[in-house]
C-alpha cells in the first residue's frame, strides 16, 4: 500500500516531535503493509517548511531506518498559503509531480475556490483535496465537492474517518463520498504512533465492505499513478 498523506517527519509541524517517534511511525506503517509514504508536513501560516528542509528530514529519517520503506517528498498545503505564493512552481508538490495536496479552510467561497482551482490547472497542476469529509462546508454541501471533482480534483479521505475514529457522523460522510465516487485515495494523515497512527489496512477493509474491490485502488493503483506523475481520471 501507498500512504499519500503522513506527518511523520520529526520536528517540522504538529506531527512526529522527534526522530524516535518518526522511526516508530515508519516501522508501524511498514508492518501494516505500507511500502511507500509521502511525507506531507503542513505548509501554512504556522508551519512553512520548504522543499529543502523536507528533503533533509527525509534523508535523516532514512538513515535511521532498517526497513525497505520508500519515503517521498510532499506537503499538506493550506489554500491560503498557496494563493499567497509568489511563484506556484516553488510550492512543494508530491514527489515533484504535477500533484498538489490542498487543505481547504473550514469556510470558503465556492466560486473563488473553483476559480483558483481552474487557475492552477491552467498552469499544469492537479489538485488533491485532503480530508473533504472533515471540512464543515463540504460536510453540509457535498455537491460542492462534486463540482470540484467534475473539474478534475481528486478527493483523499483519512483512514481514521473511514474506521469511525473521528466519530459516526464523519464516518457516514466518508462512506457517502466513497459510494458516490468522490474519493480517489485513502491516506492515514498520521501524526503520531499513539493516537493518529499510520495504519491503512483497517480502513481498506472497511472501505471494501462498502464499495467492493474498488477500495484496493484507493491505496495502491491511484496513489501509485500520482507519485509517478500519471493522469488519474475522475
- Give Cβ neighbours of residue 45 (< 8 Å, ≥ 6 apart): 78, 80, 81
pLDDT band at 78 (very low <50, low <70, confident <90, very high): very high
The string of pLDDT tens digits covering residues 1-32 is 999 999 999 999 999 999 999 999 999 999 99
68 vs 98: CA distance, rounded Å? 26
Which pLDDT value is given to residue 83? Answer: 77
pTM above 0.75, yes or no: yes
Residue for grid cell 490542498: 102
Mean pLDDT, the chain, whole residue set:
94
The string of pLDDT tens digits covering residues 88-128 is 566 899 999 999 999 999 888 888 888 888 888 998 999 99
104 vs 153: CA distance, rounded Å? 12
Q: What's the CATH number for 2-227?
A: 3.20.20.140
207 vs 216: CA distance, rounded Å? 9
Model confidence at 142: pLDDT above 60: yes
Q: Domain coordinates of the chain in residue numbers?
A: 2-227
Amino acid at each position: 500500500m501507498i500512504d499519500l498523506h503522513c506527518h511523520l517527519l520529526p520536528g517540522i509541524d504538529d506531527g512526529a516531535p522527534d526522530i524516535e517517534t518518526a522511526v516508530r511511525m515508519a516501522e508501524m506503517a511498514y508492518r501494516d503493509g505500507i511500502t511507500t509514504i509521502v511525507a506531507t508536513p503542513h505548509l501554512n501560516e504556522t508551519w512553512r517548511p520548504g522543499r529543502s528542509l523536507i528533503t533533509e528530514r527525509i534523508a535523516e529519517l532514512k538513515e535511521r531506518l532498517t526497513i525497505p520503506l520508500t519515503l517521498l517528498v510532499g506537503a499538506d498545503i493550506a489554500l491560503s498559503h498557496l494563493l499567497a505564493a509568489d511563484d506556484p512552481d516553488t510550492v512543494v508538490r508530491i514527489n515533484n509531480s504535477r500533484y498538489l495536496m490542498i487543505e481547504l479552510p473550514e469556510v470558503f467561497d465556492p466560486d473563488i475556490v473553483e476559480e483558483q482551482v481552474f487557475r492552477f490547472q491552467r498552469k499544469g497542476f492537479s489538485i488533491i483535496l485532503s480530508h473533504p469529509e472533515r471540512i464543515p462546508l463540504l460536510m453540509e454541501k457535498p455537491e460542492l465537492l462534486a463540482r470540484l471533482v467534475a473539474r478534475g480534483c481528486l478527493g483523499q479521505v483519512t483512514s481514521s474517518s473511514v474506521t469511525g475514529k473521528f466519530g459516526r457522523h464523519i464516518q457516514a460522510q466518508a462512506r457517502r463520498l466513497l459510494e458516490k465516487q468522490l474519493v480517489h485515495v485513502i491516506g492515514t494523515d498520521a501524526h503520531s504512533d499513539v493516537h493518529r497512527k499510520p495504519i491503512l489496512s483497517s480502513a481498506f477493509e472497511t472501505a471494501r465492505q462498502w464499495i467492493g474491490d474498488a477500495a484496493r485502488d484507493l491505496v495502491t493503483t491511484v496513489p501509485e499513478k500520482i507519485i509517478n506523475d500519471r493522469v488519474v481520471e475522475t
